[in-house]
Amino acid sequence: MRWRRDPCPCCVTKPDWSCEAPTTEAPAIGRRGLFGAALGLASLALASPVLAAPGDRSIAINRVGTGESFNGIYFREGRYDPDALLSLNWLLRDPHLGEATPMDPRLFDVLHSVAAMMNASEPYEVISGYRTPESNAANARRSRRVSRASLHMSGMAADVRLPGQSSMGMARLAANMQIGGVGLYRRDGFVHLDCGPSRRW
Ligand SMILES: [Zn+2]
């Protein structure tokens, strides 16, 4: 498998990264606001192509930079747990402006599935989750190569690593699962995962 060396389409933690990946508008998410759309997400339950297996779904995340964490079930009895989603929305907020958005819960399914396939014993370290348009635009102003469109702005992406696991291995496995976008940043030691169209770079 060859990994494109192109810049990340969504990650603008480095100002010289640009976006080439398709963007996906998710009608139920991406709205500004703190906790607005958590309710009603039950309608998305089981809509994810990621997981057909029944049962509860859990996730463990440590947020780099804030020291906050979540470790628990976010999907139970066939529905996304609204309280868990609220916690996860806040955990994955844009730390620069302290603003959260309703994350697309399919992102958590991606993270859950990849961790399960990796037999992960440690929580994810999330480097970046939601990004406000302001944060993204600030990066774009610093570099013309930074895209103004990003799945991070839609609450559909996270940049993660799993302690003790190779980023290359995780990226390869996630790409083979074809459950969303996968970007490997080996030098920086993390992987971009999103619940948009399956693609890799
Ligand atoms: Zn990213």
SS3 content of the chain, % helix, strand, coil (to 5): 25, 20, 55
Domain boundaries, the chain: 52-200
Neighbours of ion ligand 1 (CB under 5 A): 10-11, 157, 159, 192
Q: Helix (H) and strand (E) counts for the chain?
A: 4, 8
Per-residue pLDDT, 51: 52
Contacts of 52 (CB under 8 A, 6+ apart): none
Q: Percentage of the chain surpassing pLDDT 90?
A: 60
Compute the distance from residue 7 Cα to the ligand 1 centre, in Å: 10
The pLDDT tens digits of the residues spanning 153-168 come to 999 999 999 999 999 9
Please state which CATH class domain 52-200 belongs to: alpha beta
Compute the distance from residue 77 Cα to the ligand 1 centre, in Å: 31
Per-residue pLDDT, 24: 35
Q: In whole numbers, what is the pLDDT of the chain averaged over residues?
A: 78
The pLDDT tens digits of the residues spanning 18-56 come to 333 333 333 333 334 443 344 334 434 434 445 546 799
